[in-house]
């Protein structure tokens, strides 16, 4: 039973089924199904991750309780298209040059024939289906859809909308940047329609094995939910994100360039317009609604009789700021923007375990391939998580690496976050002592060795933006010292 008063958002990659011999495409051996669930713009505001003390996510929490929760998982890019391209191709943004909301990666000659995660499953006998937002936006173009998945369901979308925007916002009053409630039904929302399609498929006689991808839109803006979800978070009891006055005073000026001119409001505007609390409340409400849809899908999986032979993978493409570091939205290399939920649960996975090793969305591709016995491309840049699924405390030499445009990288290890920007400026945070990243230690003589250790993880391949790159694309000319945001210089040398 799914109750509206409960919420849950999760990143799950589960059901470990590893045959003793490699599976050939025509092998007569049972192979696990895959249920691949994506959540858009979900940060660590999930009960079991502790990102917000009041968030209600019982469905995700229950999944984490019967599996392994990765508490230090991060995206490869804090932007939808770049993150999803990385996960589905198995390559870093610095390898593909896909940093912005465009282009579609197959327009890049080197990526034209790249074998994506769903293609790998199709080529090895899986019936692949998708609905909602798995690739970004309108990608792939309609004429190329059959190349990526066999069967397509409803597209992603917010669904019902008010007659006019509820909040007039700066930065062009973008139609998507809105939040609040208005009279409508849960059944009118895009994520309900997506969940309905998945539930229907799970009730049908699906060809097996299947790879079923389900992408939810919320809590992406506009943060619209029906009143019942807002009632979970009474305004007078709402706890706000922790802030520190002057938090950006010890961050390099270049840190502003990564989110230079965006429709997502700055904290200063949210506070002056008395919209900070309403935005936080709306974000929590939409998380709870999406959790209910995740619950509907997982309940249908259980009823289908496939729960014991299905790998469930639920993930978020990146995080979201709610005032931290004086911004809202993504497009940063700090914890609120990079940290995502990631849980593996199901057959063969230890129950009730937590893993603090740094992991990445990039690891999903090789892990699923290994679980299902499929021959993955040899150049995947992520790592098979199987050792951590067997022992969450196992040795793990890999950091999590996030990049946002060429030259800007965040390196997350178990204790530290190191950031290097394209102009050479740096940040270092000790997350054990400073979980909010309030004190930049980059100039501390006590941390020289720590910085050197993290610098060695900076990507050796760091391509410029791919041809056709648009939207939220930043470039930097080291010779002139000019940073260019979406084709326009941010400043002139010496100014």
Q: Give tens-digit pLDDT for 140-151.
A: 999 999 999 999
pLDDT digits (tens, 9 = 90+) for 159-184: 999 999 999 999 999 999 999 999 99
CA distance 156 to 136: 10
**3-class DSSP assignment, residue 420:** strand
pLDDT digits (tens, 9 = 90+) for 239-255: 999 999 999 999 999 99
Tokens 């509907």: give the residue: 296
Query: What's the average model confidence in pLDDT over 343-361?
Result: 87
pLDDT reported for residue 1? 37
Residue 4 has pLDDT above 50, yes or no: no
pLDDT band at 23 (very low <50, low <70, confident <90, very high): very low
pLDDT reported for residue 350? 85
Residue 67 has pLDDT above 90, yes or no: no
Tokens 């005032």: give the residue: 323
pLDDT digits (tens, 9 = 90+) for 335-346: 999 999 998 877
Among the residue ranges 5-9, 248-252, 392-396, 403-407, the one predicted with the least confidence is 5-9
* CB distance 86 to 362 below 8 Å: yes
Which helix (H) or strand (E) segment is 244 a member of?
none
Query: What's the average model confidence in pLDDT over 376-383?
Result: 97
pLDDT reported for residue 430? 98
CA distance 187 to 92: 37
Query: Considering the chain, what is the average pLDDT of its residues?
Result: 92
pLDDT band at 347 (very low <50, low <70, confident <90, very high): confident
- How many alpha carbons fall within 13 Å on the CB side of residue 293? 32
pLDDT reported for residue 27? 43
Residue 45 has pLDDT above 60, yes or no: yes
Residue 203 has pLDDT above 80, yes or no: yes
Query: What's the average model confidence in pLDDT over 270-274?
Result: 98
Among the residue ranges 10-19, 136-145, 268-277, 444-453, the one predicted with the least confidence is 10-19
pLDDT reported for residue 10? 33
Q: In 3D, which of 336, 361, 357 has the Cα closest to residue 429? A: 336
Residue 2 has pLDDT above 70, yes or no: no
Query: What's the average model confidence in pLDDT over 482-489?
Result: 96
pLDDT band at 331 (very low <50, low <70, confident <90, very high): very high
* CB distance 316 to 9 below 8 Å: yes
pLDDT reported for residue 15? 34
CA distance 131 to 445: 52
Tokens 């933006």: give the residue: 465
pLDDT band at 136 (very low <50, low <70, confident <90, very high): very high
Token pair belonging to 431: 């997350």
* CB distance 434 to 444 below 8 Å: no
Q: Please say whether the dihedral angle defined by the alpha carbons of residues 307, 217, 148 and 385, taken in this order, is positive or negative.
A: negative
pLDDT reported for residue 313? 87
pLDDT reported for residue 270? 98
Among the residue ranges 24-38, 408-422, 429-443, the one predicted with the least confidence is 24-38
pLDDT reported for residue 137? 87
pLDDT above 90: percentage of residues in the chain: 86
Domain ranges of the chain: 33-383
Catalytic residues: 80, 136
> Rg of the chain over CA atoms, in angstroms?
21
CA 248 to chain centre: 25
**CATH number for region 33-383:** 3.40.720.10
Token pair belonging to 21: 């011999």
């Amino acid at each position: 039973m799914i109750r509206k008063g409960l919420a849950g958002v999760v990143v799950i990659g589960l059901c470990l089924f590893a045959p003793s011999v490699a599976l050939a495409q025509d092998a007569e051996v049972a192979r696990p199904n895959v249920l691949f669930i994506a959540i858009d713009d979900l940060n660590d505001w999930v009960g079991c991750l502790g990102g917000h003390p009041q968030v209600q996510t019982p469905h995700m929490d229950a999944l984490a309780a019967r599996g392994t929760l990765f508490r230090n998982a991060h995206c490869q890019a804090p932007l939808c298209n770049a993150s999803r391209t990385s996960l589905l191709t198995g390559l870093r943004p610095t390898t593909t040059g896909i940093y912005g909301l465009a282009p579609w990666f197959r327009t890049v000659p080197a990526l034209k024939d790249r074998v994506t995660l769903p293609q790998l499953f199709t080529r090895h006998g899986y019936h692949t289906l998708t609905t909602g937002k798995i690739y970004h936006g309108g990608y792939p173009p309609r004429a190329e859809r059959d190349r990526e998945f066999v069967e397509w369901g409803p597209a992603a979308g917010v669904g019902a909308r008010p007659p006019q925007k509820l909040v007039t916002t700066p930065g062009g009053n973008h139609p998507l940047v809105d939040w609040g409630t208005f009279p409508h039904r849960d059944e009118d929302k895009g994520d309900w329609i997506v969940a309905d399609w998945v539930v229907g498929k799970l009730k049908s006689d699906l060809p097996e094995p299947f790879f079923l991808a389900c992408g939810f839109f919320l809590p992406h803006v506009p943060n619209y939910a029906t009143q019942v979800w807002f009632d979970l978070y009474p305004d007078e009891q709402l706890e706000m994100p922790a802030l520190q006055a002057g938090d950006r005073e010890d961050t390099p000026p270049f840190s502003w360039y990564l989110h230079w001119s965006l429709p997502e409001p700055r904290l200063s505007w949210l506070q002056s317009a008395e919209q900070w609390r309403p935005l936080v409340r709306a974000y929590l409400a939409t998380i709870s609604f999406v959790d209910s849809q995740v619950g509907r899908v997982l309940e249908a999986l259980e009823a289908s009789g496939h729960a014991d032979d299905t790998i469930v993978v639920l993930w978020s493409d990146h995080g979201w700021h709610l005032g931290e570091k004086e911004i809202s939205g993504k497009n940063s290399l700090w914890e609120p923007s990079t940290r995502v939920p990631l849980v593996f649960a199901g057959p063969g996975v230890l129950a009730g375990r937590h893993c603090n090793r740094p992991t990445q969305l990039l690891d999903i591709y090789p892990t699923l391939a290994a679980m299902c016995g499929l021959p993955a491309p040899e150049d995947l840049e992520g790592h098979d998580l199987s050792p951590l699924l067997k022992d969450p405390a196992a040795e793990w030499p890999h950091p999590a690496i996030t990049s946002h445009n060429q030259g800007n990288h965040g390196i997350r290890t178990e204790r530290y976050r190191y950031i290097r920007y394209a102009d050479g400026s740096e940040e270092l945070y000790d997350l054990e002592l400073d979980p909010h990243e309030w004190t930049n230690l980059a100039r501390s003589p006590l941390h020289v060795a720590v910085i050197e250790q993290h610098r060695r993880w900076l990507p050796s391949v760091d391509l410029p933006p791919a041809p056709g790159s648009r939207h939220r694309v930043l470039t930097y000319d080291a010779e002139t010292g000019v940073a260019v945001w979406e084709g326009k210089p941010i400043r002139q040398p010496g100014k």
